[in-house]
Amino acid sequence: MKKLLSLLLAMAMAISLTACGGTEHQGSSAPSPAIDPVSGQETETPDIKGETEPPAAEDTEGTKILVVYFSWADNAILADDVDAVASPSVIPPGNVQQLAVWVQEETGGDLFAIRVTDPYPSDWDACLERANEERGSDARPELEEQVEDMDQYDTVFLGYPNWWYGVPMALLSFLEQNDLSGKDVYLFCSHGTGGLARSVEIITEAAPDANISDRIFDCYEEEAASSEEDIKAWVDELGFSAGDSVENEQAARQIQVRFDGGAVVYELNDSAAADALLAQLPLTINVEDYSTNEKIFYPPQALDTTAAPLAEGGAGVLAYYAPWGDVVMFYDGFGTNGSLYALGQAVSGEAWIGQMSGTVTVEMAE
């Protein structure tokens, strides 16, 4: 009987452990081995790099970006008789350099060119011959400059041409001298009929701990000069468009003063006084005439004028007169005053300012 009870208890524990292992702890279990369809033998599951999805657009805010590239045009001394038609990629800005500039413009990141101390020939055949020699000897060409403080960057865009079905060896010099571990890396490449060839594999091997995305931009070298829209759209799809961020930031600091008959939209500056006004919105408040060039209203709370710039200019300026505590909307020129501080500038509806009267609504612009 004791043996039977022991057997039943052991079976119950085994079932219990099996159930636990198949649910809550499933994510930490080892992957199942792959089966070779030819031999029927188990094979080691490969560790696939470059399959990571890029951060969502809303997660890229505050990301520090570096745009790194290697371009033949940056690494050759042009001969007097260089043929711009036969070798367009050696004429500045060159294919990869041009792509990198567009990426930098779209992301707002820092730009870094990989340059060798010993430039390549400006003749394409001679350049290829040297590149092949470097590839054959697994060379690491010496670089002119180094990135200052690579640790500050979270994201790296890495651009290169396809040389000999791989990458220029100077790119490997850069990867070995700069630790990209844990950084999100996005590749862009200009190439001939060889496409990406082994370039992604080579880069992945050289930077095994980087998060290399499989969302890669590549184009034929003859199409590089006309690829501005395509590569900027790629950056935007990845969620790194600085233009969108700027537009969103500007929209977040726009207010409208609405009344029967029209509305005026102001873009506020980044002063503490403007922040204090934003914090009090929305307001339904009376507008008053003052002098012959301004409309004024009194916010419920005084604005903090610490480090606020003095107001200057003319029609369309939004200001704050500290001694009286009133917000001023100018519709004509005015003189400077040491107690009159700038809040912003009208971006639409300026012609309506002089016609405001009675009760208005001050709120965030739509």
pLDDT, one tens digit per residue, over 301-355 is: 999 999 999 999 899 999 999 999 999 999 999 999 999 999 999 988 898 899 9
Q: Which residue range(s) make up the domain with 196?
A: 57-245
Q: What is the mean pLDDT of residues 273-299?
A: 95
Residues 80 and 171 in one domain: yes
Using alpha carbons only, give the angle 89, 92, 97 rounded to the nearest 5 degrees.
Answer: 75
> Residues 95, 227: one domain?
yes
Q: Which of 224, 245, 266 is the last residue of a domain?
A: 245
Same domain, 206 and 332: no
For the segment 229-256, what is each residue's pLDDT rounded down to a tens digit? 899 999 999 988 765 444 445 556 899 9
Instruction: Kindly give, in sequence order, each residue whose CB lies less than 8 Å from that of residue 121, ignoring residues fewer than 6 positions away.
Output: 76, 79, 127, 130
The token pair at 65 is 């970006």
> pLDDT band at residue 280, thresholds of 50, 70 and 90?
very high
On whether the pTM is more than 0.95, the answer is no
Under 8 Å CB-to-CB from 300, ≥6 apart: which residues? 280, 283
In terms of Cα–Cα distance, which of 132, 137, 139 is closest to 166?
Answer: 132
Inside any domain, residue 236: yes
Q: 26-40, pLDDT tens digit by residue?
A: 222 233 333 333 333
Q: Which of 216, 245, 274 is the last residue of a domain?
A: 245
Q: What is the DSSP string of 326-355?
A: EEEEESS-----TTEEEEEEEEE-GGGGGG
Same domain, 127 and 258: no
Same domain, 233 and 279: no
In a domain, 30, yes or no: no
Q: Which of 227, 245, 263 is the last residue of a domain?
A: 245
| 277 within domain boundaries | yes
Same-domain pairing of 229 and 331: no
45 in any annotated domain: no
Under the banding of pLDDT at 50, 70 and 90, the label for residue 223 is confident
Q: Are residues 66 and 214 in the same domain?
A: yes
Q: What is the pLDDT of residue 99?
A: 92
Q: Are residues 186 and 84 in the same domain?
A: yes
pLDDT at 275 over 80: yes
* Assigned domain for 331 exists: yes
Regarding predicted confidence, which is higher, 155 or 249? Answer: 155
Residue 123 lies in a domain: yes
pLDDT exceeds 60 at position 258: yes
The number of distinct structural domains making up the chain is 2
- Which CATH number is 172's domain given? 3.40.50.360
211 with 76, same domain?
yes
Same domain, 212 and 306: no
Cα torsion through 19, 23, 27, 28, rounded to 10: -30
Q: How far apart are CA 287 and CA 266, in angstroms?
A: 16
Query: Which CATH number do you get for residue 277?
Result: 2.40.100.20
Pairing of strands 42-43, 211-212: unpaired
Q: Which residue has tokens 């639409």?
A: 348
Q: Are residues 172 and 261 in the same domain?
A: no
User: How much is the pLDDT for 184?
Assistant: 95
One domain for residues 267 and 147: no
Higher-confidence residue of 217 and 227: namely 217
Tens of pLDDT along 159-200?
999 988 889 999 999 999 999 999 999 999 999 888 899 999
DSSP assignments along 161-224, one per residue: E-BTTB--HHHHHHHHHS--TT-EEEEEEEESTTTTTTHHHHHHHHSTTSEEBS--EEEEGGGG
Confidence class of residue 64 from pLDDT cuts 50, 70 and 90? confident
Higher pLDDT, residue 282 or 21: 282
